[in-house]
Amino acid sequence: MDNRPIGVFDSGLGGLTSVRELARLLPGEDLLYFGDTARTPYGSRSRDTIIRYGREDVELLLARGVKAILCACNTVSSTLPADYTAGLPVPFVGVVDASAAAAVRATKNGRIGVIATAATVKSGSYTRALDALDGSLAVTAKACPLFVPVIENGYVGREEPIVTALAREYLAPLKEAGVDTLILGCTHYPLIAEAIADEMGPGVTLIDSGAQGALALRGALEGAGLLRARRSGGEVQFYVSDSGENFAEVGSLFLGKDLAGAVHPFTLAAP
């Protein structure tokens, strides 16, 4: 049993997809969320920069006394070296392996699509994870670099013209490949899941990488004996590296509760 908070981080709003699921799965746990809104998006940056940002995010949460870290960011999960994460003093859980496993369980025709940031697609993390689970799968991966800036700017509605136009453009190769399972391999994308589902049409299962990460984290906490006894009353504090207004506005809509009082802007040491 351990009463310290769980740390969760992402480049911005995306990790809220994990927060939503954690609040459902572990309602007694306190969460400490960091959204690096001053430096989002991560997914179009170089590997070295993503590693530096990811390490700073981890260290920031460790300095605040978290008992485990959920990296609710596919880009960082795909990039941070395994020897770094394995050497951390608390359990560290990424979102890629759990999402790949969920997709393998869901597919019937063996054709799986992955949409993600440019850095995640370039890393090959999903192709490797899926191949390790089942070498006979046909995997189609597509980078969707404009989704994150659009979502961070608050365009998340099902019929928002900019979202539907991007969905049409980005999802065409996945439809052509006949995938029956589509991994939303960026935690921001579940915020526009309705528009993505509309474009893909019926019969395609969407895998929410934020929610899968939350499930994997619960498993890790259980395994390490780190869950707290309390069954309700968990609180979430949100830290952001830039003004929290847009974060609070879109986040409140997505989580269905007012976040304004729980969002704390603060300044990171280095740009």
Instruction: Choose between 99 and 227: whose C-beta lies nearer to ligand DGL.
Output: 99
Closest distance to ligand DGL from the beta carbon of 122 (Å): 12
Instruction: Choose between 22 and 226: whose C-beta lies nearer to ligand DGL.
Output: 22
Contact status, residue 247 vs residue 227, Cβ threshold 8 Å: no
Helix axes 193-200 and 161-176, enclosed angle (nearest 10)? 50
Residue 74 touching ligand DGL (CB under 6 A): yes
Which residues, numbered 207-236, are part of the site for ligand DGL (CB under 6 A)?
Answer: none
Catalytic pick from 103, 148, 186, 217? 186
Which residues, 6+ apart, have CB-to-CB distance to 238 below 8 Å? 33, 35, 244, 247, 248, 251, 259, 262, 263, 264
Contact status, residue 263 vs residue 251, Cβ threshold 8 Å: yes
Nearest to 211 by CA among 187, 238, 235: 187
Residue 188 touching ligand DGL (CB under 6 A): yes
Which residues, numbered 96-125, are part of the site for ligand DGL (CB under 6 A)?
Answer: 117, 120
What are the structure tokens assigned to 53, written together?
Answer: 């940002």
Mark 154-183 with x for binding to ligand DGL (rule: CB under 6 A) and - for no binding. ------------------------------
Closest distance to ligand DGL from the beta carbon of 43 (Å): 3
Between CA 182 and CA 73 the distance in angstroms is 17
Closest distance to ligand DGL from the beta carbon of 28 (Å): 26
Contact status, residue 28 vs residue 3, Cβ threshold 8 Å: no
Which residues, numbered 129-158, are part of the site for ligand DGL (CB under 6 A)?
Answer: 148
Instruction: Choose between 104 and 186: whose C-beta lies nearer to ligand DGL.
Output: 186
**In this structure, which long-range contacts are made by residues 222-225, counting pairs with CB atoms below 8 Å and at least 24 apart in sequence?**
224/68, 224/91, 225/1, 225/2
Residues forming the site for ligand DGL (CB under 6 A): 10-11, 14, 40-43, 73-75, 117, 120, 148, 186-188
The residues carrying an active-site annotation are: 73, 186
